[in-house]
């Protein structure tokens, strides 16, 4: 499975799959990662891509020591389903 890559020039995390790119847009300020929007191309839906992307974003935030504000409904729901990320909530 492809890895999640931080693309700071576009302020988004990306996961390329089958020639398409799923991504989560973010804003970073004072060690707080605000996840604004997540998009998975229609061709990739139903394959767990969004969940893998959310996990990659959250794992990256943890590795950097950042807190997270999930304004994106998808990432917010993912965090609610996975209490192992509760410590990241800002």
pLDDT of residue 69 exceeding 70, the answer is yes
Beta bridge partners of 13: 6, 24
Pairing verdict, β 12-17 and 20-29: antiparallel
Q: How far is the CA of 59 from the CAs of 20, 63, 86, in angstroms? A: 22, 6, 12
Per the model's pLDDT, the better-predicted residue between 2 and 3 turns out to be 3
pTM for the structure as a whole:
0.95
Across 62-72, average pLDDT: 98
pLDDT of residue 78 exceeding 90, the answer is yes
pLDDT of residue 1: 64
The CATH architecture of the domain made up of 5-88 is 3-Layer(aba) Sandwich (3.40)
pLDDT of residue 63 exceeding 90, the answer is yes
pLDDT of residue 2: 77
pLDDT of residue 58: 98
Interhelix angle for 49-64 vs 73-81, to 10°? 80
Strand ranges, E, within 1-90: 5-7, 12-17, 20-29, 32-39, 67-70
């Amino acid at each position: 499975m492809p890895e999640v890559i931080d693309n700071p020039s576009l302020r988004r995390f990306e996961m390329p799959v089958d020639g398409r790119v799923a991504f989560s847009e973010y804003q970073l300020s004072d060690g707080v990662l605000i996840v604004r929007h997540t998009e998975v191309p229609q061709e990739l839906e139903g394959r767990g891509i969004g969940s893998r992307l959310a996990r990659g974003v959250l794992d990256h935030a943890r590795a950097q020591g950042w807190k997270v504000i999930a304004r994106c409904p998808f990432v917010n729901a993912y965090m609610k389903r996975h209490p192992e990320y509760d410590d990241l909530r800002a």
